Protein backbone atom coordinates (compact mmCIF):
# COMPACT_ATOMS: atom_id res chain seq x y z
CA UNK A 1 0.00 0.00 0.00
CA UNK A 2 2.81 2.41 0.90
CA UNK A 3 4.56 1.94 -2.43
CA UNK A 4 1.25 2.45 -4.27
CA UNK A 5 0.58 5.73 -2.42
CA UNK A 6 4.01 7.12 -3.21
CA UNK A 7 3.75 6.20 -6.89
CA UNK A 8 0.15 7.46 -7.09
CA UNK A 9 1.09 10.81 -5.56
CA UNK A 10 3.84 11.35 -8.11
CA UNK A 11 1.78 10.21 -11.11
CA UNK A 12 -1.76 11.42 -10.34
CA UNK A 13 -1.82 14.15 -7.71
CA UNK A 14 -0.76 17.73 -8.29
CA UNK A 15 1.11 17.96 -4.98
CA UNK A 16 4.53 19.24 -4.00
CA UNK A 17 6.48 17.60 -1.18
CA UNK A 18 9.55 18.40 0.86
CA UNK A 19 10.90 17.24 4.21
CA UNK A 20 12.82 18.65 7.14
CA UNK A 21 15.14 16.15 8.87
CA UNK A 22 16.59 17.18 12.22
CA UNK A 23 19.51 15.22 13.65
CA UNK A 24 18.50 15.51 17.31
CA UNK A 25 21.80 14.22 18.69
CA UNK A 26 23.83 16.65 16.59
CA UNK A 27 21.48 19.52 17.46
CA UNK A 28 21.81 18.74 21.18
CA UNK A 29 25.61 18.80 20.81
CA UNK A 30 25.74 22.13 18.97
CA UNK A 31 22.68 23.96 20.35
CA UNK A 32 21.39 22.26 23.51
CA UNK A 33 18.77 24.97 24.11
CA UNK A 34 17.08 24.57 20.71
CA UNK A 35 13.99 22.42 20.51
CA UNK A 36 14.10 20.15 17.41
CA UNK A 37 10.37 20.67 16.90
CA UNK A 38 10.86 24.47 16.86
CA UNK A 39 13.69 24.19 14.32
CA UNK A 40 11.72 21.82 12.06
CA UNK A 41 8.57 23.94 12.04
CA UNK A 42 10.51 27.17 11.53
CA UNK A 43 12.28 25.72 8.50
CA UNK A 44 9.02 24.24 7.25
CA UNK A 45 7.12 27.53 7.47
CA UNK A 46 10.02 29.36 5.80
CA UNK A 47 10.03 26.89 2.91
CA UNK A 48 6.24 27.04 2.44
CA UNK A 49 6.33 30.85 2.50
CA UNK A 50 9.23 30.94 0.03
CA UNK A 51 7.46 28.48 -2.30
CA UNK A 52 4.34 30.68 -2.22
CA UNK A 53 6.38 33.82 -2.98
CA UNK A 54 7.91 32.19 -6.05
CA UNK A 55 4.60 30.80 -7.32
CA UNK A 56 2.53 33.89 -6.38
CA UNK A 57 0.18 31.83 -4.20
CA UNK A 58 -0.92 31.70 -0.58
CA UNK A 59 -1.01 28.84 1.92
CA UNK A 60 -2.86 27.55 4.96
CA UNK A 61 -1.18 24.96 7.16
CA UNK A 62 -3.00 21.83 8.32
CA UNK A 63 -0.76 20.16 10.92
CA UNK A 64 -1.55 16.99 12.79
CA UNK A 65 -3.41 17.66 16.04
CA UNK A 66 -1.42 17.95 19.22
CA UNK A 67 0.73 21.03 18.83
CA UNK A 68 -1.77 23.68 17.75
CA UNK A 69 -0.75 26.30 20.31
CA UNK A 70 2.95 25.91 19.52
CA UNK A 71 2.52 26.10 15.74
CA UNK A 72 0.04 28.98 15.86
CA UNK A 73 2.42 30.98 18.08
CA UNK A 74 5.35 30.30 15.73
CA UNK A 75 3.43 31.23 12.57
CA UNK A 76 2.17 34.46 14.14
CA UNK A 77 5.71 35.33 15.20
CA UNK A 78 7.16 34.61 11.74
CA UNK A 79 4.45 36.71 10.09
CA UNK A 80 5.50 39.76 12.13
CA UNK A 81 9.22 39.36 12.64
CA UNK A 82 11.51 36.96 10.84
CA UNK A 83 15.19 37.64 10.36
CA UNK A 84 17.03 34.99 8.36
CA UNK A 85 20.74 34.81 7.62
CA UNK A 86 21.55 35.81 4.06
CA UNK A 87 23.29 33.11 2.07
CA UNK A 88 25.88 35.59 0.84
CA UNK A 89 26.28 37.40 4.19
CA UNK A 90 24.26 39.74 6.32
CA UNK A 91 20.68 39.10 7.31
CA UNK A 92 17.30 39.56 5.68
CA UNK A 93 13.93 40.54 7.11
CA UNK A 94 11.45 38.25 5.36
CA UNK A 95 8.11 38.01 7.12
CA UNK A 96 5.98 34.94 6.40
CA UNK A 97 3.24 36.94 4.67
CA UNK A 98 2.05 34.12 2.42
CA UNK A 99 0.65 32.06 5.29
CA UNK A 100 -2.80 33.67 5.30
CA UNK A 101 -4.50 31.99 8.26
CA UNK A 102 -3.61 30.45 11.57
CA UNK A 103 -2.82 26.74 11.23
CA UNK A 104 -5.87 24.47 11.39
CA UNK A 105 -4.91 21.31 13.21
CA UNK A 106 -6.68 18.06 12.39
CA UNK A 107 -6.67 14.49 13.60
CA UNK A 108 -4.55 12.58 11.12
CA UNK A 109 -7.12 9.82 10.74
CA UNK A 110 -9.63 12.46 9.57
CA UNK A 111 -7.46 13.94 6.81
CA UNK A 112 -6.08 12.15 3.77
CA UNK A 113 -3.62 14.99 3.21
CA UNK A 114 -2.13 14.65 6.70
CA UNK A 115 -1.91 10.89 6.25
CA UNK A 116 -0.11 11.41 2.94
CA UNK A 117 2.24 13.92 4.60
CA UNK A 118 2.97 11.32 7.30
CA UNK A 119 3.82 8.73 4.61
CA UNK A 120 6.04 11.27 2.85
CA UNK A 121 7.86 12.01 6.12
CA UNK A 122 8.30 8.27 6.64
CA UNK A 123 9.74 7.94 3.13
CA UNK A 124 12.15 10.84 3.68
CA UNK A 125 13.40 9.61 7.04
CA UNK A 126 13.84 6.05 5.77
CA UNK A 127 15.66 7.20 2.66
CA UNK A 128 19.35 6.75 1.97
CA UNK A 129 19.66 10.52 2.42
CA UNK A 130 18.61 10.57 6.08
CA UNK A 131 18.82 7.08 7.62
CA UNK A 132 19.95 4.42 5.15
CA UNK A 133 19.99 1.72 7.85
CA UNK A 134 16.26 2.07 8.64
CA UNK A 135 13.95 -0.59 7.22
CA UNK A 136 11.25 0.38 4.77
CA UNK A 137 10.55 0.73 1.07
CA UNK A 138 13.95 1.67 -0.26
CA UNK A 139 13.86 4.48 -2.77
CA UNK A 140 10.39 5.68 -1.77
CA UNK A 141 11.50 9.29 -1.38
CA UNK A 142 13.20 9.29 -4.76
CA UNK A 143 10.06 7.73 -6.31
CA UNK A 144 8.29 11.03 -5.60
CA UNK A 145 10.39 12.45 -8.46
CA UNK A 146 8.61 15.45 -9.98
CA UNK A 147 6.55 15.99 -6.82
CA UNK A 148 9.65 16.97 -4.84
CA UNK A 149 10.28 20.64 -4.14
CA UNK A 150 13.96 20.76 -5.03
CA UNK A 151 14.31 24.46 -4.20
CA UNK A 152 14.13 23.85 -0.43
CA UNK A 153 17.89 23.42 -0.29
CA UNK A 154 18.95 25.03 -3.56
CA UNK A 155 21.50 27.32 -1.90
CA UNK A 156 22.72 25.06 0.90
CA UNK A 157 22.82 21.79 -0.98
CA UNK A 158 21.81 18.38 0.24
CA UNK A 159 19.52 15.57 -0.80
CA UNK A 160 16.69 16.31 -3.22
CA UNK A 161 13.76 17.94 -1.45
CA UNK A 162 15.13 17.39 2.09
CA UNK A 163 16.49 20.06 4.42
CA UNK A 164 19.03 18.44 6.77
CA UNK A 165 19.84 20.26 10.01
CA UNK A 166 22.35 20.67 11.45
CA UNK A 167 24.75 19.88 8.65
The full set of domain ranges for the chain reads: 2-165
Q: What is the pLDDT of residue 90?
A: 83
Per the CB < 8 A criterion, the answer to whether 41 and 99 are in contact is no
Q: For residue range 146-167, what is the model confidence (pLDDT) as tens digits?
A: 999 999 998 888 899 999 998 8
Q: What is the pLDDT of residue 68?
A: 82
Q: What gap in Å lies between CA 72 and CA 104, rounded to an integer?
A: 9
Q: What is the pLDDT of residue 83?
A: 76
Q: For residue range 36-51, what is the model confidence (pLDDT) as tens digits?
A: 999 999 999 999 999 9
Span 28-36, mean pLDDT? 89
Lowest mean pLDDT among 82-86, 102-106, 162-166: 82-86
For residue 143, give the 3-state DSSP assignment.
helix
Amino acid sequence: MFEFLIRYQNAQLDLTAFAIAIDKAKLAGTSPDRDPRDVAWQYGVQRVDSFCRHTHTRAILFPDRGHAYFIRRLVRQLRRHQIIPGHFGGSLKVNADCIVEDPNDRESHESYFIQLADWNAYAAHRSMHVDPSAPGYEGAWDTLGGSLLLDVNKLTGGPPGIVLYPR
